[in-house]
Amino acid sequence: MGQRIASRARQTKETQISVSVNLDGTGEYDVSTGIGFLDHMLEQLSRHSLIDLQVKAEGDLHIDFHHTTEDTGIVLGEAVREALGDFKGLTRYGSAIIPMDETCTRVSLDVSQRPYLCWMVEFTKPKLGDMDTELFKEWFQAFAQSAGITLHVENLYGENNHHIIESCFKALARALRQAIEIDPRKADAIPSTKGVLGS
């Protein structure tokens, strides 16, 4: 098996973003988006998935955080999709239930190449610091779409908005770590009876 690494970039009038990933890393990260809380979440994603991650983003933050948040999800998803290569040997499915103090979140995913987001997360306030809480769904939607992942995110219970979204990212990380592992018993096979993913 070759190295599962990839780099992707996106440049528009709204954002300039570059992302590099190593799916078989140790959870090392270098993240700078200009949005402190998003940086923190991406660092959690890297550390708990063991995906080495480099993210550099510059965006129109003088308007709001929407474009930078969404486009970062798009480019990271594209990089993960490229690094997955031909999908041979993938475990494919992953799930995790992550507690964080009073909060508990469940994530289940399928690296299916049939992107879909089921988002069952509610917040008690419209903002978390300077960030609109509605933007977290935008990030997960963008990531799932670009990575080709069927992604279900369900906050089972919780009160603190910081804990709720952090448990979502950590649960995504753990489920993703499980799904992208290579199954040594089927390292040369596509994980589908169809012989192909996405159809």
Q: What is the pLDDT of residues 90-134, one digit of tens each?
A: 999 999 999 999 999 999 999 999 999 999 999 999 999 899 999
Q: Collapse the DSSP code of 90 into the 3-class scheme (helix H, G, I; strand E, B; otherwise coil) and give the result.
A: strand
pLDDT at position 144 = 98
Angle of helix 134-147 relative to helix 66-84, nearest 10 degrees, comes to 30
Burial environment of residue 178 by CB neighbours within 10 A (0 to 12, 13 to 18, 19 or more):
middle
**One-letter identity of residue 21:** V
Average pLDDT over residues 45-51: 98
Q: What is the pLDDT of residues 68-98, one digit of tens each?
A: 999 999 999 999 999 999 999 899 999 999 9
Q: Which CATH architecture has domain 5-186?
A: 2-Layer Sandwich (3.30)
pLDDT at position 197 = 73
pLDDT at position 193 = 63
Query: Binning pLDDT at 50, 70 and 90, where does residue 188 land?
Result: confident
Query: Binning pLDDT at 50, 70 and 90, where does residue 185 land?
Result: confident
pLDDT at position 195 = 67
Q: Whats the size of the chain, residue-wise?
A: 199
Burial environment of residue 146 by CB neighbours within 10 A (0 to 12, 13 to 18, 19 or more):
buried
Query: Distances from the Cα of 124 to the Cαs of 29, 41, 151, in angstroms?
Result: 30, 19, 23
What sign results for the dihedral spanned by CA atoms 160, 66, 80, 25?
negative
Kindly report the average pLDDT of the chain as a whole number: 95
Q: Cα separation of 56 and 39, whole Å?
A: 10
pLDDT at position 9 = 98
